[in-house]
Chain A
Amino acid sequence: GAGVSQSPRYKVAKRGQDVALRCDPISGHVSLFWYQQALGQGPEFLTYFQNEAQLDKSGLPSDRFFAERPEGSVSTLKIQRTQQEDSAVYLCASSSDRGRRNEQFFGPGTRLTVL
């Protein structure tokens, strides 16, 4: 595809439900990032993949958050037993890591609302 896509765009969950958010990066992009953006705030780093390897998960707020990228392309961010404080926009970004550019391209985000 032409850009990074994410699905669903909007998700409403009841507290305690599990959710799965999907990211399709730009084809061939090696690096993939997940960010969490609370209302009125800038995004904050969650986790980073280089191909299928999760090289940094230091930003995941709790062990209820889990991310995977098994084949080095599509990634899924899973949140178990959702809480109200998980309500946020979840952004995915990818980059090619060619040369020195390392520019990140962002998806449209998934807005998660936990009731």
Chain B
Amino acid sequence: KNEVEQSPQNLTAQEGEFITINCSYSVGISALHWLQQHPGGGIVSLFMLSSGKKKHGRLIATINIQEKHSSLHITASHPRDSAVYICAVRYISSGSARQLTFGSGTQLTVLP
């Protein structure tokens, strides 16, 4: 049923490692979001992309529209980066509705 696929589902890394989380989707989109969710539920928007690449601090997000694929990279990872990272898309076919369709998330644990 879920049209947004993320990988890996779980990822454990050592502090300092370079991390990549992948997201693929099925049809045309108007925007793709990368979100961060900490224990307790609150969701923070990291990036909203429709093309190319964005960078914010140690976080980099890229999107390839032709391949329907996006990646989230974390450089020099730190234990405080431990969270669930969620990819979400707004499909063009959504029409007047603007809801997001979410992946199931990647649980990232960064060990000191």
A→B interface (CB under 8 Å): 31, 33, 35, 37, 40-45, 48, 50, 55-56, 59, 89, 91, 93, 95, 97, 101-109, 111
The reply on B41 being an interface residue by CB < 8 A is yes
Given known A-B contacts A41-B104, A42-B2, A91 and B43 have beta carbons under 8 A apart: yes
Given contacts A35-B100, A111-B41, 7 further A-B contacts (CB under 8 A): A37-B41, A42-B105, A48-B99, A55-B96, A102-B30, A102-B98, A104-B98
Residues from chain A with a CB closer than 8 A to the CB of B42 are 106-109
Report yes or no: B99 in contact with A59, Cβ–Cβ below 8 A.
Answer: yes
Least Cβ–Cβ distance between B104 and chain A, in angstroms: 5
Which of A43, A97, A103, A105 has most B Cβ within 10 Å? A43
Report yes or no: A91 in contact with B31, Cβ–Cβ below 8 A.
Answer: no
Report yes or no: B41 in contact with A105, Cβ–Cβ below 8 A.
Answer: no
B: number of interface residues (CB 8 Å): 26
Report yes or no: A95 in contact with B98, Cβ–Cβ below 8 A.
Answer: yes
Report yes or no: A106 in contact with B31, Cβ–Cβ below 8 A.
Answer: no
Report yes or no: B97 in contact with A104, Cβ–Cβ below 8 A.
Answer: no
Residues from chain A with a CB closer than 8 A to the CB of B2 are 42
- Least CB separation from B40: chain A residue: A108
In whole angstroms, what is the CA distance A35 to B98 when docked? 12
The 5 closest A-B pairs by CB, nearest first: A42-B102, A109-B41, A106-B43, A45-B99, A108-B42
